[in-house]
Amino acid sequence: MNTFRTTKRALVAASMAVALVQSAWSAENATLERWRSYAGVTWNTDTAAQRPFANSANAPIAGIHFDAKGRAFVSTPRLIAADAPATLSILDTTSADGPARLTAFPSEPGNSVVASPETSLRNVLGFYVDHRNGWLWALDMGFVAGEAEAPVGGQKIVIYELSSGRVVKRIPLDAVADRKGSFLNDIAVDESRKIAYISDSGLRSAPNNQAGIIVADFETGASRRVLNRHPSVLPEPQVKVVSHGEEVWSGNPLTLGINGIALSPDARTLYWTVTTGTHAFSISTDVLRSAAASEKTLASKVRTIGDVGGNTDGIVTDARGQLYITDVTRNGIVRFDPSTRAMTVLATNDGIFWPDTPAITPDGYLVLTASQLNRHFAGAVKAGSERYDLWRIRLSSQPAKAN
């Protein structure tokens, strides 16, 4: 009996200590603040007459990443409408409200829907800012709203010089992505080896998602598809996507496979999450880079790193290797610590609607977009009422990441 009481007291004390540590973290570091709130978007450069783009409600800001100068690059995917002047732009963050002031990157002609699909950006959701090489890797899904399939050459990676917008290289992806069924979601880059890892959620082939991971090599221009339809990249059975307590598209449920993808600081581990699911996964990049590795070998190397606790979208790692995951279900951010294997709800806010892409700024903030993509797809956002919010949270570690 005494042993039982001693053990019980020890467990209670341990629990209290954990709670105090978590509370201290929340109190000191884990406050999400609405940093910017925009009433739509505009590509109008006349600051004296800032009017939202006419179809602004169908051009939500989804992706965001920062270069070393603190410039914010954003994507406005052409998933709902194809008429936005650009799908990849630079956001003027000096403006805190009104319409988000965007400048097409590398230019409006370089974002043209009617130009050659092989050369022009058509529909960018995921992209990556490469600090080591001074590049931006844009992942083009190829298709735009209203198209049953991507045109030949539309699915690609376009690598730009950040300073000038000059095209460094194009890597075609038609050979490893289905022009009808693929949905090229996100991209992570090993900056030292110049190798890109792409998540293909296969949304356009749901419910039989043609999901997988694509490995693309800058030097050779070659790409391979791996873990095709492996359980770790597919929607989890019986899982529903929930946002603000409601199932997303009840009656026509969202079935989205692998989505967020990120590398550890040393680029030796690749992480990913599945939106129609709750788990996060990892694999050693050594085996992914080996063209000789069989699918059986690859499958044996996949590891489940934990249950996030909700549905997810984007992910990012900081310089210490901490993984930050946007939590669609609980409207916030979850942190995974590889050293302790702990998965912790870092912060939430009911004002966040569909936390989409997280990114880390040069001055140490984690910024995330609240895209409301689920509501935009459902036609629930009416013209004139669209709001595109950027939220941020101060991180305790420096953001610079070299790999």
Domains of the chain: 33-394 (2.120.10.30)
Question: Chain-wide mean pLDDT for the chain?
Answer: 90
pLDDT tens digit at each of 403 positions of the chain: 343 333 334 333 333 333 333 333 333 447 899 999 999 999 976 555 577 898 999 999 999 999 999 999 999 999 999 999 999 999 999 988 889 999 999 999 999 999 999 999 999 999 999 999 999 999 999 999 999 999 999 999 999 999 999 999 999 999 999 999 999 999 999 999 999 999 999 999 999 999 999 999 999 999 999 999 999 999 999 999 999 999 998 888 999 999 999 999 999 999 999 999 999 999 999 999 999 999 999 999 999 999 999 999 999 999 999 999 999 999 999 999 999 999 999 999 999 999 999 999 999 999 999 988 888 888 888 888 899 999 999 997 554 454 5
The pLDDT, as a whole number, for residue 250 is 85
For 15, 19, 29, 252, the CA distances from 22, given in Å and listed in that order, are: 11, 5, 10, 38
Q: Could you tell me which of 119, 127, 183 has the C-alpha nearest to residue 150?
A: 183
The alpha carbon of 85 is separated from its chain's Cα centroid by a whole number of angstroms, namely 22
